[in-house]
């Protein structure tokens, strides 16, 4: 029987249980393992281990498995953009682009080519249909909700997608995997860059972007150290600065509060909630709307400017070019260009956009300027 649903099996527990639930529901399914990162010689790629686990899971479930290599598509559609953003001093979110370009484009195309009607993944999110339109909803498990990373999906993609884990807490997912004897039941959740995994980020990025050391300065222009390259750091970051015991300053942590990319200067402050990090208004690039259009030219919503952040009330104004001006009800810390601003109406994800700039001093400062 031709599989009606192709499950993206990654070799992790979430996709394993997604396949398990669909098989238990009597759906004709098959698995598909995506190879999306070519071996770069670092020895850190765990794709072969994940592939073996995916094969073992499908064997345990008694379902066929297919394999596709999307490494070229990943490089051209995700990774080149990732590098360009870092080189420009921004902090991109590759998981958002990875979902749009790989998991819900090339994977979906591959599933259709195999004769399937839909795909399924182990994402923690939900889909429903209301008033003739498909909606992306938050997962029941708020701590695992991944709708933030899925906000670039559209109507055609949602219509062809299943998220079997959307109503389950993570602890139940692991319990079901263990009860079914799945070999991934106790496997650690993957973290790090989408499809690249966990590794020393600075060393990894340094393989592709040549390091250019420069000065670390305070907002008033005082030099307090040196950095290996401004693109290694993001706003609000505390780790990796190696600024212990600076003469004339308190023995307190330092935080990145600005990046002067042309001048190759990193700006730091010792106040976690430095005014250089705080903003009320954010401007974005052109937005994507899951419904195909925004709810209005101006509206109230909830917004997240990073994953796992509590959603904050805001007012949204849409420009003629589709870009957003978002004003928050209270100041926001470390809203970072390159990251995604995602909008919600309650539990419904409306869509989102890439952050371009904010009204924080960090968003417009050149090192040496003063507040």
Residues marked active site are found at 98, 194
Distances (CA, A) of 248 to 214, 273, 275: 21, 21, 21
**Angstrom distance (rounded) from CA 329 to CA 345:** 16
* Tokens, residue 110: 């591959």
Task: Check if the beta carbon of residue 145 is closer than 8 Å to that of residue 125.
Answer: yes
* Tokens, residue 22: 């669909």
State the pairing for strand pair 118-120/5-8. parallel
Burial of residue 203 (number of CB atoms within 10 Å: 0-12, 13-18, 19+): exposed
* Tokens, residue 182: 């799945």
* Tokens, residue 82: 């990732």
112: left (phi over 0), alpha (psi -120 to 50) or beta: alpha
53 SS3 class: helix
284 SS3 class: strand
Phi, psi of 49 (to 5 degrees): -65, -45
* Tokens, residue 105: 């484009």
91 SS3 class: coil
Task: Check if the beta carbon of residue 167 is closer than 8 Å to that of residue 17.
Answer: no
């Amino acid at each position: 029987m031709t599989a009606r649903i192709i499950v993206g099996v990654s070799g992790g527990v979430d996709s394993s249980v997604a396949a398990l639930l669909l098989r238990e529901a009597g759906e004709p399914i098959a698995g598909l393992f995506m190879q999306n990162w070519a071996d770069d010689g670092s020895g850190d790629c765990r794709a072969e281990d994940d592939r073996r686990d995916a094969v073992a899971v499908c064997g345990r479930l008694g379902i066929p498995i297919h394999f596709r290599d999307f490494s070229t598509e990943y490089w051209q559609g995700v990774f080149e953009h990732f590098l360009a953003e870092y080189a420009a001093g921004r902090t991109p979110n590759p998981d958002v682009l990875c979902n749009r370009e790989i998991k819900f484009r090339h994977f979906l195309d591959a599933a259709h080519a195999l004769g399937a009607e839909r795909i399924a993944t182990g994402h923690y999110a939900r889909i429903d249909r209301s008033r003739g339109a498909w909606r992306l909803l938050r997962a029941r498990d708020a701590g695992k909700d991944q709708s933030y990373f899925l906000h670039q999906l559209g109507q055609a993609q949602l219509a062809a997608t299943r998220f079997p884990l959307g109503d389950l807490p993570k602890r139940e997912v692991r319990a079901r995997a263990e009860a079914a004897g799945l070999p991934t039941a106790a496997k650690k959740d993957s973290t790090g860059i989408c499809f690249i995994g966990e590794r020393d980020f600075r060393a990894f990025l340094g393989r592709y972007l040549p390091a250019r050391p420069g000065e670390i300065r305070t907002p008033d222009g005082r030099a307090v150290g040196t950095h290996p390259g401004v693109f290694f750091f993001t706003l609000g970051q505390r780790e990796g600065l190696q600024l212990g015991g600076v003469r004339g300053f308190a023995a307190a942590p330092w935080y990145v509060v600005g990046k002067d990319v042309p001048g190759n200067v990193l700006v730091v402050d010792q106040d976690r909630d430095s005014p250089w990090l705080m903003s009320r208004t954010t401007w974005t690039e052109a937005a994507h709307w899951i419904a195909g259009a925004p709810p209005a030219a101006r509206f109230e919503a909830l917004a997240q400017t990073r994953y796992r952040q509590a959603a904050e009330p805001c007012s949204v104004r849409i420009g003629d070019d589709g870009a957003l001006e978002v004003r928050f009800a209270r100041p926001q810390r470390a809203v970072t260009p390159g990251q995604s601003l995602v909008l919600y109406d309650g539990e419904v994800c409306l869509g989102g956009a890439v952050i371009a700039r904010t009204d924080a001093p960090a968003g417009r400062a050149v090192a040496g300027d003063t507040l």
